[in-house]
Structures are given as structure tokens and as C-alpha cells.
Amino acid sequence: MPGWHVRVRIAVHHDVGMEPRGLLAAVPLLLLVVGCGAQTSVASEPKRLPVRTVDGEVQVGCGSGSSWSPAVMADGVPGVVERDVVVEAFRELLADPELSGELELSFLSAGAEETEWRVLAGDGDALTLGLGSWTEAGPAEGARTFAMAREGRRWRWLGGGDCPHLGPVLADDADGWVEVTGLSAPAADTGEVTVVVSEIACTGARDPGPFLHEPTVVETDQSVTVYWTTTPPESASCPGNPSVERTLELGAPLGERALLDGSSWPPAPVPRS
């Protein structure tokens, strides 16, 4: 199946590792005039990214359940719930004989008082907490999510887990992310690059080719970020997802710019082969 050739020239400035708020706003049409033989960059029409935003902030999550703004991951959403309420909820859940073994072993092993937490999303009656150490770049090793809801005067644990893939939440719930996992040596004198891609969700080891959507590519002076989606199956087993090669045609040679995978938060550098 032939590769897609995508021509996107968006002149925004976004350093590697920075929060891409500017990518979510309208980008004016720019023409950078050539001088003294310098490379010309031309911005095309603004591109709409396939990610969910709230008040201009991209929303991220761990693959299922709640989503939140990266800005709250370090210190949490303020004013949602008092610390004493959460500590008492932890005590209550740890006292439940059906839950205490699992919670003591993993989520609340430090105890109700000493467990580090912040509110990622929710209100006073339904909470998604980030346990352990989190920053705006995501959870540290061993950090987890923890969801609970109030039922009358008691709290019910809804579940939680680690965050193996923190990424932007897609605006269309029917779409799934494609991960860009590799980059072949790009041509030095053209904008063509060959990348290796695979679907992230469980797909029953199907051939991803017929289900891949056209990617969105955002180019800046420092980086090229690829946002690639697919149509996932309604349900499937997870024996491992095949990878396929596809060709992108950029507005200028990749050069020393980083190629970034937009399915991760923050966008992750794609290793060159």
C-alpha cells in the first residue's frame, strides 16, 4: 500500500519538551523572505490537531477513564476536596477486608496519612487522584492513578493503575492513536522521511494499513511532530500489533530537527535507525 505524502508547513515555534499550547491556536499565514541564500519556510493554512482541548488546554490521560490538563499533574486541582476528607477515605477503604490486601500491597502501601496524592480530575463526590510523584511531564516511576466516588457517607474505590502510556486524549472517541516508533535515515536533499508506525490499542494483530488515517504533521524550526490516528476495532485480543513503514513528505528536509510522536505527552522523540 503506498505511503501518504503530507505537505504541512506551519511556522510556529515550539521547543522540544514545551507544552504545545501554540499548536492548538490559529496560526497566521506567514512568508519568510529569502535573504542571502537562506532556507525559505512557508506557513500554510492552520491545521486542526485531533486532540481534545478544554479552554485551549490539551487534555491527557492514561488510556482510559478520566482526562485532565497537564498543568494540574504536579500540584493537583486546587479547592476540590480537603486533605482530611481524602485521608479519611483512604482509612475507610483500607479497613474494608475485601480491599485492604490489594490497597496495602500497591496503591496505599504508605498508609492513609503518608500516601502522596493530588487531584487530577473530578469534584467533591467523584475523584481521580494521582498517587506518588507527578510533574507536568507525567507520573514518575511507581506513580499511579486512583479513582473513588462517594456513595452516601462512604467512599467506593473505582479502580486505578499505573500509566504505561500518558498521551493526549483524542477529540473523536471513535479514533485510536498510532505510535511512531522508528525513523529511517531521511533523505538529505528532500522532505521525504520514512517512519515505522503501529497501533497502540489492542487490534488482534491485524494489518494496520487499511485503518490508518491521514496524519497531521506540524513543522517548526526545531522539530517535526506527527499526530497519527486509526480506526480501532470494537474489541480485540492483544497478541502484539504489527508495524508498517510509511513515507511522509515534509515542507523541508528534516535535517537536525527532532521528529516527535504526538501520541505521547509530552511528544516523544522518535529514534533514528
Report whether 259 contacts 268 (CB < 8 A).
no
Mean pLDDT by 10 residues, the chain (273 residues): 38 36 36 30 64 95 90 97 97 96 95 98 95 96 96 95 94 96 91 96 94 96 97 90 95 95 97 85
| Same domain, yes or no: 52 and 178 | yes
The pLDDT of residue 90:
98
Domain identity same for 82 and 139: yes
Q: Both ends of the chain: CA-CA distance in Å?
A: 22
Is the residue at 146 inside a domain? Answer: yes
82 in any annotated domain? yes
Residues 43 and 84 in one domain: no
Domain total of the chain = 2
- Largest Cα–Cα distance of the chain, in whole Å? 75
Residue 10 counted as domain residue: no
Indicate whether 104 and 36 sit together in one domain: no
What is the pLDDT, as a whole number, of residue 215? 97
% of the chain surpassing 70 pLDDT: 83
Q: Are residues 73 and 51 in the same domain?
A: no
Same domain, 177 and 51: yes
Whether 64 contacts 167, CB under 8 Å? no
Q: Tell me the C-alpha distance between 29 and 114, whole Å.
A: 53
223 in the same domain as 90: no
Domain that holds residue 238: 21-56+172-269
**Domain presence at residue 8:** no
Supply the pLDDT for residue 46.
62
261 beta partners: 226, 268
Phi/psi for 90 (5° steps) reads: -60, -45
Give the residue from 149, 88, 76, 139 showing the smallest Cα distance to 113. Answer: 88
Global pTM value = 0.81
Place of cell 490538563: 69
Asked if residue 177 and residue 142 are part of one domain, the reply reads no
What's residue 236's pLDDT? 87
40 falls within a domain: yes
